[in-house]
């Protein structure tokens, strides 16, 4: 038991203990920092380094001119097939223009819209070849395909109706 008559051994106050532990921590931290700075200073030796010689990649190989021209003709061949097919069913540029002027054949604007939509589709493929990536092209052509389908369906319906009307006469 603690006898109050006897004095208790003197202990330092708590604020002195806190200050002394903070002081010890600060001394240890500063010692570590000084040691790391000295260690880093020994490794950092500035001297003349060898010259860097850059090496560039060789130029990309391009296909020959005749191959590019054959590929361009292959890309344009669907247009040739379209014109030949239209001429076989009797649709010529002259009949389209006269139909527009006379308005004798309704729905000629659908045919012009379909041809314009095909041209826009080809332009998108050209952009893919020159600037776009495949993901951007697929998004644009997929959305534009709905417009192309609508114009194509209306254009073919118009031609079918015209053919049925000419057969009845």
pLDDT at 138 over 60: yes
Q: What digits encode the pLDDT tens for the residues 27-81?
A: 777 776 665 555 555 555 677 888 888 888 888 888 788 888 888 888 888 888 8
Q: Is residue 128 part of a domain?
A: yes
Q: Which residue has the higher pLDDT, 14 or 150?
A: 150
Does some domain include residue 98? yes
Query: What is the widest separation between alpha-carbon atoms in the chain?
Result: 136
Is 22 within a domain? no
Q: Residue 125, Cβ neighbours under 10 Å: how many? A: 13
Domain, as residue range, for 111: 89-168
Whether the predicted model's global pTM rises above the 0.75 cut? no
Does 11 fall in a domain?
A: no
The band of 145, judged by pLDDT with boundaries at 50, 70 and 90, is: very high
| Contact present, 144 and 117 (Cβ < 8 Å) | yes
On whether residue 7 sits in a domain, the answer given is no
Asked, for residue 30, whether it belongs to a domain, the answer is no
Q: Is residue 121 part of a domain?
A: yes
- Confidence label for 168 from pLDDT (cuts 50, 70 and 90): confident
Spatial distance between the Cα atoms of 100 and 93, rounded to a whole number of angstroms: 11
Tokens encoding 168 = 């009845």
**SS3 for 5?**
coil
Decide if pLDDT at 136 tops 90: yes
Task: Please count the structural domains in the chain.
Answer: 1
Domain for residue 107, yes or no? yes
More confident position, 39 or 26: 26
């Amino acid at each position: 038991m603690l006898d109050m008559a006897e004095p208790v051994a003197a202990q330092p106050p708590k604020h002195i203990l806190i200050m002394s532990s903070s002081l010890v921590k600060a001394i240890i931290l500063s010692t570590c920092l000084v040691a790391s700075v000295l260690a880093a200073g020994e490794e950092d030796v500035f001297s003349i380094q060898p010259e860097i010689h850059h090496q560039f990649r060789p130029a990309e190989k391009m296909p020959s001119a005749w191959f590019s021209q054959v590929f361009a003709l292959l890309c344009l061949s669907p247009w040739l097939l379209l014109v030949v097919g239209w001429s076989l069913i009797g649709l010529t540029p002259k009949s389209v223009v006269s139909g527009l002027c006379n308005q004798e054949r309704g729905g000629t604007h659908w045919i012009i819209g379909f041809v314009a939509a095909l041209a826009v589709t080809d332009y998108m493929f050209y952009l893919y070849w020159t600037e776009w990536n495949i993901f951007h092209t697929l998004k644009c052509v997929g959305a534009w395909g709905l417009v192309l389908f609508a114009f194509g369906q209306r254009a073919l319906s118009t031609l079918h109706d015209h053919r049925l009307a000419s057969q009845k006469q």
